[in-house]
Chains A and B, each alone.
Chain A
Amino acid sequence: MKIAIASGKGGTGKTTVSSSLVSVWESPVIAMDLDVEEPNLHLFLKPTITGKRTANMEIPKVDDTLCSKCGKCGELCQFKAISLMGEILMIFPEMCHGCGGCIAICPEGALTTEFRELGEVTWGQSGDAEFLMGRLRVGEAMSPPLMRTVKEKLKEMLDASSKDVIIDAPPGVSCPAMNAVMDSDVILLVTEPTPFGFYDMKLAHEAFLPMGKPMGVVVNRAGLGNADVYDYCAEKKLEIMAEIPYDRQIAETYAKGSIISESSDEMKQIFISLAEKIKQKTGSKKSQGGMP
C-alpha cells in the first residue's frame, strides 16, 4: 500500500504527519520524501544514509557538421529548448524536459544525447523504516524527471521485499504534486482550518479527484480559524481521519526536529488511529506481514 501525504497549501503539516505515521506504522515501511525541491523528512527521521546516486536527464547535443538547419526539432519542441535561430541551431539545456522527441525526429541523425544533472537520490535506514529521498540540484527547475528516478529506486527497494510506502509529497497542485500522488493507493490531504488552508485544500481535492483514489483529510492546528474545512468535507463526503490540535507544545516538538507522535501518548494515539483508518480505507490488501 502506498499512502501519499499531500496538501495544496505548504506548511500545513505534511512532514509532521508523514514522520509520525512512519513512527507508528507496524508493518515494514519505506518513508519516501518526494518533496524534492525542499526535502525535510530526513530532519525528523534522521536516517543513516547507506547509498546515493546522481540523477541525470538526457538532453540533445548537436553535431553542426550533420545538421541541415531544417528546423524540425525546434518546431516539435513545445518548450523551446531547441530552436533554429536564423542559421544557428541553439540548445537551451535548462529548458529541456528530456522527452527525446528532437533526437527521434532529426532526419540527419545530427542530434545525440548528453546529460543535465537533476539532483541526487539518497537512501538509508531510520529505525525499522527504510528511507528514500530525492533532492533537486540548486538551480534546477524541473522536479518530475528527478521524481521518476527516485521512483525507480523505490521499485528496486520494493522488488527486494514487499513493504508499505509513506510518501511525503510536495505542496501545490501542479506537476510535482500530481507526480507524487499518482502511484498511491490513498491520498491524505493535510490542511489547516484557515481560509488559506481551506482554499488550497479545495484546489488539491479537485485536482486529485479525477484519479479516482480514496482520499481523506487530516486537520492540523485544529481549533484555529473557522468551520469552512469541516463544512466542505461534510458536503463532499471527505472523511476527516485525524485532527491535530493547535498547540504550542506540538510546535516546540516540531521545531526541535522531534516526531510529534513520539512526544506524548495522546499524540501517539492520534496517529495509531489514523493508521488504522488508512488501512480500513484501502482494505489493506497489499500489506504484508505483521498486521493484526
Chain B
Amino acid sequence: MDKIAVTCEEASLDAQVDSRFGRAAGFLIVDPDTMEFEYINNGSTQGMAQGAGIQAAENIAKSGAKILLTGNVGPKAFQGLDAAGIQIGQNLAAMTVRQAIEKFKAGDVDFASSHNKTGHWK
C-alpha cells in the first residue's frame, strides 16, 4: 500500500492532526501496513512570508507519499499536490494521526477534488 503523509503537531501517531497543511508543524510519513513512520519537520515554512503551501507540497512530493491526510489545504498547495499526483483527504483535523489513518483504511475518507481554503492573496 502507498505511504500516507499526515500533518501532525508532534512526531507521534497519537499526536493531533495539524489542521494547517502549508504551515503544519510536521508530517508523519506512515506505512499503513506496518504503521511504521518517518517524521518530516515542516516548521521552517511557518516563518515564510509566502509560499508555505507550495513548499509543503514540495516536501510531500519528495517524501514519496501518494496520499495526504490533513485539515485545510489552500489553492496553490492543492495545485502542487495535484501536479505531483498526490491524493488529498481534507477536513480530518479533529482526531489523532492514528485515527485518521484508521479512518482512511476503513474507506471513510473521500479524496478532495479542490482546495477547502482560500489563498491569502485572493
Contact = CB atoms under 8 A, between A and B. Distances in A.
B30 to A, nearest CB: 19
Given A85-B57, A85-B61, A90 B50 contact: no
Contacts of B80: 83, 85, 90
Given A88-B84, A141-B121, A95 B61 contact: no
A32 B58 CA distance: 42
Interface string B46-90: 001111101101100100000000000000100111011100000
Interface in B12-70: 48-52, 54-55, 57-58, 61
A95 B51 contact: yes
A88 B121 CA distance: 23
Contacts of B85: 86
Given A86-B84, A90-B83, A79 B51 contact: yes
Contact of A81 (B51, B81, B84): B51
Contact of B83 (A74, A81, A86): A86
Contacts, number: 47
Contacts of B76: 92, 95
Interface in A53-82: 74, 77, 79-81
Counting chain B CB atoms within 10 Å of each CB, the highest count among A77, A84, A86 belongs to A86
A94 interface: yes
A167 B84 CA distance: 47
Contacts of B121: 94, 141
Interface residues of B, number: 18
A85 B84 contact: yes
Nearest to B61: A86
B79 A80 contact: no
A141 B121 CA distance: 7
Contacts of B50: 79-80, 95
Contacts of B58: 74, 80, 83-85
B67 to A, nearest CB: 14
A141 B120 CA distance: 10
A64 B103 CA distance: 39
Nearest to B49: A79
A85 B55 CA distance: 9
A74 to B, nearest CB: 7
Contacts of A80: 48, 50-52, 54-55, 58
Contacts of A141: 121
- Across the A-B interface, the 9 shortest Cβ-Cβ residue pairs: A80-B51, A86-B84, A80-B54, A85-B84, A88-B83, A86-B61, A85-B83, A85-B80, A83-B54
14 contacts: A74-B58, A79-B51, A80-B50, A80-B51, A80-B52, A80-B55, A80-B58, A83-B54, A83-B55, A84-B58, A85-B61, A85-B84, A90-B80, A95-B76
Interface of B: 48-52, 54-55, 57-58, 61, 76, 79-81, 83-85, 121
Interface of A: 74, 77, 79-81, 83-88, 90, 92, 94-95, 141
